[in-house]
Structures are given as structure tokens and as C-alpha cells.
């Protein structure tokens, strides 16, 4: 990891700087603020906001950590309550306009759909959250499928959920592969722009 600082990647009031892997791509319109770590080959799309700036009782700001080969698509918001962490595992896809608010943990190879909300929740690996769903205050086992528009906010509701199937797994893998290609393409464009300037 290396420090990266330009207009859209900047410190919080506590002075915590984002740490962005050199192979990640951040769109110039995205905002990455404070104690944020972004892993290798991760794509941060236009107008995404990843903001770690609220202090907890200790006076410290907790981290937002985004693992390798993730994609944080257009208009996604990631934030957290003071002193609480957000952890996003490898190859997670956060689709357009979804909100991830900590405390929150999303394990590897999961998908959060368009305009879905995940708050005070834990998602184990290969979980699929449909568009517009709300997941709050629960722990979802590996391979859980939350249908579009569903509200899951109590442990009793978790046991009634479906299992992620082959169609969802194929879709999740395709989304990750597509965004890895975008990272490569945009990084190449950045290199060309530097060479031409």
C-alpha cells in the first residue's frame, strides 16, 4: 500500500490518510476520505463516496477496509458510526447506489444489489443481496439469497431466506470479471494520459 493524495482522495479531520494500492483504480469523481484502505485491482466508480471520519469514544477513527478485486460502483456510499469498522472482503461487488453503513462486515465473493442498504450487519461469503433490499442488525450465513426489495431486520427472518444458486453465482463472477477488465482499461488510460502530458 502507498499513500495517495489528490483532490478526491484526502485526509479526515483527525489526519488519517487513505491508503490505496497502486493497482486500484479510483474515478476522479469518487471521494475517498480518511482511514480507508483499498486493495489491489479494486475499482471505485464515478461518484462513489467512501468516508471514514467519525471518532469513537476512544477518540480514534475506525477503518474502512476494502479488499482486493472488489468493485464499488457508481454512487455507492460507504460510511460508519464513530469507532465502528467496515470490512469488505475480496471480490465483493457493491452495485450502483447501494449504501453500506458500519458497523458492517461483508465476506468475500458477495454481491450487494442496486440501491440496497446494509447496516449493522454481517454477510458471510457468497451472499447475494437483491436490488432495493434492506439488511439491518442481522448475521447472514454463507450463500444466503435476499430477494429484491426484501427487508431483513431480525434473526428470525434469516432462516426463511433462500440460498444463492448457480444463476446468482454465475452473475456475481461475471460482475467481478467485468470490473477487473475495467480496472485494467482505466489504468492503461491513466498511463497514456501521463505519457501525453
pLDDT at 7 over 90: no
Give the global pTM.
0.94
**Domain spans, the chain:** 2-196
The string of pLDDT tens digits covering residues 51-98 is: 999 999 989 999 999 999 999 999 999 999 999 999 999 999 999 999
pLDDT at 1 over 70: no
pLDDT at 190 over 90: no
Helix/strand/coil (H/E/C) assignment for every residue in the chain? CEECCECCEECCCCCCCCEECCCCEECCCCEEEECEEECCCCEECCCCEEEECCECCCCCECCEEECCCCEECCCCEEEECCCCCEEECCCCEECCCCEEEEEEEECCCCEECCCCEEEEEEECCCCEECCCCEEECCEECCCEEECCCCEECCHHHHCCCEECCHHHHHHHHHHHHHHHHHHHHHHHHHHHHHHHC
CATH number for the segment(s) 2-196:
2.160.10.10
pLDDT at 117 over 60: yes
Residue 197 pLDDT level (bands cut at 50, 70, 90): low
Amino acid at each position: 500500500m502507498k499513500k495517495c493524495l489528490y483532490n478526491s482522495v484526502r485526509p479526515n479531520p483527525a489526519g488519517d490518510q487513505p491508503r490505496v494500492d497502486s493497482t486500484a483504480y479510483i474515478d476522479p469523481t469518487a471521494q475517498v476520505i480518511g482511514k480507508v484502505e483499498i486493495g489491489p485491482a479494486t475499482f471505485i466508480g464515478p461518484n462513489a463516496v467512501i468516508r471514514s471520519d467519525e471518532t469513537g469514544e476512544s477518540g480514534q477513527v475506525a477503518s474502512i477496509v476494502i479488499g482486493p478485486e472488489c468493485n464499488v460502483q457508481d454512487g455507492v456510499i460507504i460510511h460508519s458510526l464513530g469507532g465502528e469498522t467496515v470490512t469488505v472482503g475480496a471480490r465483493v461487488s457493491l452495485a450502483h447506489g447501494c449504501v453500506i453503513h458500519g458497523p458492517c462486515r461483508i465476506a468475500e465473493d458477495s454481491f450487494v444489489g442496486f440501491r440496497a442498504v446494509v447496516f449493522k450487519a454481517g454477510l458471510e461469503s457468497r451472499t447475494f443481496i437483491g436490488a432495493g433490499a434492506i439488511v439491518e442488525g442481522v448475521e447472514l450465513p454463507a450463500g444466503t439469497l435476499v430477494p429484491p426489495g426484501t427487508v431483513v431486520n431480525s434473526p428470525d427472518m434469516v432462516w426463511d431466506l433462500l440460498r444463492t444458486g448457480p444463476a446468482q453465482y454465475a452473475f456475481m463472477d461475471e460482475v467481478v470479471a467485468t470490473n477487473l477488465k475495467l480496472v485494467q482499461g482505466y489504468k492503461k488510460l491513466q498511463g497514456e494520459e501521463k505519457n501525453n502530458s
